[in-house]
């Protein structure tokens, strides 16, 4: 993380005492990423204290070492890693963390390094071929490992989610029985996992998936030690106002209690977005206005990949010295690169008099925003500031989404 840099025109105000409006007053030339550690701590404590099982942070959502440390310090001890790069990162950052390699398709070399060099014992799979790969990679002198936690991933519906994850992974129904039986023989602890899709807008997504879990257990007649309901827990975005997370937890717990499983079976989940979305936002400058199009200095190849490529709408605010009394209107954004694909259709609602030189805060970018940033076309560098104000919306406090789209500096 960077302190204020004079080249950007930022004053040396004590870190941690500001909000987005304070940053905009300093007229930064480049985008400034705002970090809210208190929001990440709050989200982590919420899951640790209220989810009726164990919460694994899905590292892919935001692999920042600073964030990993915040979550660890807040009680998150298990981490869902999807690559050997993430395995190495989390092991280096958090030497005592429990790592679970939950990508269903892995290189044999990655499995072996994770198992022998980094102490990983939990792996997911969705085919017999992947099971054979795991058992071969973790064997010692031809002797199979006896300490594996193997989680068979089922294919379930993403109908209740804003972003489907139903096509790429998950065992087909006719393959589940033999796969569970084979995994049972190869594992110390056998689990079943699934993913209902990203930003699941209804707890029914988990209820329906757990019905599929129940059917799989009954058909295979195996003892299951772990049920992992995956990720998909939502955050707040314009047009995507989910129910309270406690409602999701209650539905999951009721379905888990109804499963024919081991009396000592564990319930897991893998929140990513829900733990880190509120962690950061970004302050950008409007470089040009053309009708209802705003050219800003961050975009599709920066923190706004999802806004460009899957039409994700983020909350936005105009940061200005004098309040605007002009009626809001819908805008789209162009990013700073020379690429037409650097376009965020929105709509993003802002006062109708927004103009070049104005600053905007774009919120809820802690999930995937930083993780997917590139340096394409020479853009992408941002400074980072710790701020103390609240995120634009929160599922963990009584903070309501800000109804005004203007913050007075």
Do residues 139 and 195 both lie within one domain? yes
Q: The domain containing residue 289 runs over which residues?
A: 6-36+280-408
pLDDT at 295: 97
At which of 249, 269, 289 does a domain end? 269
Regions of the chain where pLDDT drops below 50: 1-16
Do residues 252 and 334 both lie within one domain? no
At which of 232, 250, 269 does a domain end? 269
Burial zone of 151 (CB within 10 Å; 0-12 exposed, 13-18 middle, 19+ buried)? buried
Rg (CA), the chain: 23
Do residues 205 and 346 both lie within one domain? no
- Round to whole Å and give the CA distance between 347 and 362: 13
- Round to whole Å and give the CA distance between 210 and 227: 9
**Residue indicated by tokens 């757990």:** 210
CB 31 within 8 A of CB 24: no
Do residues 182 and 265 both lie within one domain? yes
49 domain residue, yes or no = no
Do residues 173 and 139 both lie within one domain? yes
Q: Which two tokens stand for residue 122?
A: 């939990």
Do residues 363 and 301 both lie within one domain? yes
Do residues 181 and 288 both lie within one domain? no
Do residues 301 and 214 both lie within one domain? no
- Across-strand partners of 359? 285, 319
392 domain residue, yes or no = yes
What's 228's domain CATH number?
3.20.20.10
| 285-295 per-position pLDDT tens digit | 999 999 999 99
**Residue indicated by tokens 């104005």:** 358
55 domain residue, yes or no = no
CB 40 within 8 A of CB 70: yes
**Residue indicated by tokens 């970018």:** 365
Do residues 127 and 236 both lie within one domain? yes
pLDDT at 107: 97
324 domain residue, yes or no = yes
Catalytic site residues?
338
Query: What's this model's pTM, rounded to 2 decimal places?
Result: 0.91
What HEC string does the chain produce? CCCCCHHHCCCCCCCCCCCHHHHHHCCCCCCEEEECHHHHHHHHHHHHHHCCCEEEEEHHHCCCHHHHHHHHHCCCCEEEECCHHHHHHHHHHCCCCEEEECCCCCCHHHHHHHHHHHCCCEEEECCHHHHHHHHHHCCECCECCCCCEEEEEECCCCCCEEECCCCCCCECHHHHHHHHHHHHHHCCEEEEECCCCEEECCCHHHHHHHHHHHHHHHHHCCCCCEEECCCCCCCCECCECCCCHHHHHHHHHHHHHCCCCCCCCEEEECCCHHHHHHHEEEEEEEEEEECCEEEECCCCCCCCHHHHHCCCCCCEEEEECCCCCCCEEEEEEECCCCCCCCEEEEEEEEECCCCCCCEEEECCCCCCCCCCCCCHHHCCCCEEEECCCCCCCCCCCCCCCCCCCEEEC
Give the β-pairing of 280-290 and 359-362.
antiparallel
| 213-229 per-position pLDDT tens digit | 999 999 999 999 999 99
Do residues 341 and 203 both lie within one domain? no
What's 338's domain CATH number?
2.40.37.10
Q: How crowded is residue 75: how many other Cβ atoms within 10 Å of its Cβ?
A: 13
The total of structural domains in the chain comes to 2
CB 282 within 8 A of CB 33: yes
352 domain residue, yes or no = yes
Q: Which two tokens stand for residue 168?
A: 């790429």
- Round to whole Å and give the CA distance between 124 and 134: 9
Do residues 195 and 311 both lie within one domain? no
Do residues 230 and 312 both lie within one domain? no
184 domain residue, yes or no = yes
Phi, psi of 57 (to 5 degrees): -75, 125
At which of 228, 243, 269 does a domain end? 269
| 157-212 per-position pLDDT tens digit | 878 877 777 778 889 889 999 999 999 999 999 999 999 989 999 999 999 999 99
150 domain residue, yes or no = yes
pLDDT at 171: 92
122 domain residue, yes or no = yes
Q: Which two tokens stand for residue 243?
A: 């129910």
């Amino acid at each position: 993380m960077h302190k204020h840099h004079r080249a950007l025109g930022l004053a040396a105000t004590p870190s941690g005492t500001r909000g987005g409006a304070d940053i905009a007053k300093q007229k930064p030339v480049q985008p400034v990423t705002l970090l809210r550690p208190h929001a990440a701590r709050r989200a982590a404590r919420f899951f640790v204290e209220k989810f009726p099982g164990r919460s694994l942070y899905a590292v892919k959502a935001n692999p920042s070492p600073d964030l990993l440390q915040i979550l660890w310090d807040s009680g998150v001890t298990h981490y869902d890693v999807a690559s050997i790069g993430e395995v190495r990162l989390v092991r280096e950052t958090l030497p005592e963390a429990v790592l679970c390699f939950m990508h269903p398709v892995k290189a044999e070399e990655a499995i072996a390094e994770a198992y022998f060099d980094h102490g990983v014992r939990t792996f997911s799979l969705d085919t017999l071929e992947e099971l054979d790969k795991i058992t071969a990679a973790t064997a010692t002198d031809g002797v199979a490992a006896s300490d594996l936690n193997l989680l068979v991933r089922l294919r379930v519906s993403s109908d209740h989610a804003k972003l489907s994850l139903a096509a790429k992974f998950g065992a087909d129904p006719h393959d589940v029985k033999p796969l569970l039986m084979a995994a049972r023989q190869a594992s110390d602890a056998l689990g079943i996992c699934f993913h209902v899709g990203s930003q699941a807008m209804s707890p029914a997504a988990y209820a329906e998936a757990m019905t599929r879990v129940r059917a799989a257990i009954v058909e295979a007649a195996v003892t299951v030690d772990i049920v992992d309901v995956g990720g998909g827990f939502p955050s707040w975005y314009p047009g995507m106002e989910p129910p309270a997370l406690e409602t999701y937890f209650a539905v999951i717990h009721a379905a888990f209690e109804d499963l024919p499983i081991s009396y000592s079976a564990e319930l897991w989940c893998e929140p990513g977005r829900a733990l880190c979305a509120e962690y950061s936002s970004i302050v950008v400058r409007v470089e040009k206005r053309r009708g209802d199009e705003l050219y800003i200095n961050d975009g599709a190849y920066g923190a706004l990949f999802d806004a460009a490529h899957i039409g994700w709408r983020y909350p936005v605010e105009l940061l200005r010295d004098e309040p605007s009394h002009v009626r809001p209107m819908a805008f789209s954004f162009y990013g700073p690169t020379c690429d037409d694909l650097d376009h965020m259709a929105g709509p993003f609602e802002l006062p109708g008099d927004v103009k070049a030189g104005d600053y905007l805060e774009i919120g809820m970018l802690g999930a995937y925003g930083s993780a997917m940033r590139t340096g394409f076309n020479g853009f992408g560098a941002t400074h980072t500031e710790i701020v103390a104000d609240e995120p634009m919306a929160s599922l963990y406090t009584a903070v309501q989404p800000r109804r005004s789209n203007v913050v007075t500096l």
